[in-house]
Amino acid sequence: MNNQASISALLDLIRERNSFVISSHVRPDGDAIGSALGLQHLLEAMGKRASVVFVDSIPPHFDCLPGVKRIASRFIAADAVIFLECDCIERSSIDRLEFDAARPALTINIDHHRSGREFADFNWIDPAAAAVGTMVYDLALAAGVAITTAMADCLYAAILTDTGSFNYSSTSASTFAMAERLLQSGTDANRIAHAIYFSNPASKVRLLGIALTNLQIDGGVSWSHVTLADMERVGASVEDCEGVASHLIGIASIEVAVFLRELSGQPQFRLSLRSRGQLDVSRIAEHFGGGGHHNASGCIMDGSLAEVTERIVSHLRAACTQLHTDALVNAPTQASILLA
Ligand code: 5GP
């Protein structure tokens, strides 16, 4: 189904129902929260009852988004559940036991990850979308709903954060055009940027300092880690680890980067992978049981810091070597260029 057909089929499903639960993935980020709240505003404008549910806490810098105080942590019975940015129910920020007890009649999945999976009754996956926020915006236009300032604020935050402030390769002219229309609907871009990027807790900046001290570089690969003890020392939360990986891939001539965060309970690490250009880290994350986008992905690996680092770094080195070999094989030779 193309995007237009998906939007039209989705609108039919929405119009036939009255109540919705919306959720997104665990450790929700800007696109997860912004697109969920934006969709809630849209459904309410269509005369529906809609609740946003996140078991995980919402990072305080998203307090600026209209509707954030209404987010529930317990599952609420509804005619349909809409999952945003999830590849399975287990990765959502909904309690699985509460979900199973409620047995919703319809599940809907809206996603833009390359590793997205058709796990729901209805699936709309568009890996070309810069953010799920842009998909919700297209849905609102097709529904003929006027974009309110509240809706625009949420969708703008979703798009701003998931495009890396309009820097990632997923950003196109249409992304900027959408941002312009959201500003015309009343969004104060400066207020949103200030709340999201200029209100960091000191613990986050201190943790970044530790991560940068642990930086290692070998050829085109960079990596770093923080342990639970590091996080405890500076009073850092899990949310304070957001964004570290972007610093690692921001180094000149680095092609792929990984940030490792120690998890509690057993020897285990959460990995944030970043790449630039051709190197597809979603496939690497998938290989280790995770997923994500071409240039940003994640997964969990069991083992000690030394074991996990060795496993992932050697894998990334091999991926770089393979990429260079492929580039050489596919490059036209000097002779063929001269003959052409
Ligand atoms: P981050 O490194 O910021 O946690 O994640 C980067 C991207 O990869 C995000 O789009 C995130 O949703 C996705 N991602 C991270 N971890 C996982 C995972 O374990 N499974 C899947 N499917 N996606 C993940």
The binding-site residues of ligand 1, defined as CB within 6 angstroms of any ligand atom, are 25, 85, 87, 91, 113, 115, 245, 272, 290-293, 296-299
Alpha carbon distance 298, 239 (integer Å): 15
The hierarchical CATH code for the domain 204-327 is 3.10.310.30
Phi-psi map region of 231: left, alpha, beta (phi>0 left; psi -120 to 50 alpha)? alpha
Alpha carbon distance 112, 108 (integer Å): 14
How does pLDDT run across 17-60, given as a tens digit for each residue? Answer: 999 999 999 999 999 999 999 999 999 999 999 999 999 999 99
Give the C-alpha distances (Å, rounded to integers) separating 259 from 200, 229, 241, 256. 19, 16, 9, 11
Does residue 340 have a pLDDT over 50?
A: no
Are 31 and 61 within 8 A, CB to CB? no
Local confidence band at 88 (pLDDT 50, 70, 90 cut-offs): very high
**CA dihedral (210, 213, 216, 221) positive or negative:** positive
Residue ranges of the chain assigned to CATH 3.90.1640.10: 3-197
Whose C-alpha lies nearest to ligand 1, atom 10? 292
Pick the atom of ligand 1 nearest to 27's CA: 4
Look-up: residue for tokens 């070998």?
Answer: 218
How does pLDDT run across 178-227, given as a tens digit for each residue? Answer: 999 999 999 999 999 999 999 999 999 999 999 999 999 999 999 999 99
Lookup: tokens for 215: 């930086």
The hierarchical CATH code for the domain 3-197 is 3.90.1640.10
By the 10 Å C-beta count (0-12 exposed, 13-18 middle, 19+ buried), 336 is classed as exposed
Alpha carbon distance 324, 311 (integer Å): 20
Sheet of 296-302: strands edge to edge?
216-218, 221-226, 256-262, 268-275, 296-302, 291-292
**Distance from Cα 280 to the centre of ligand 1, integer Å:** 13
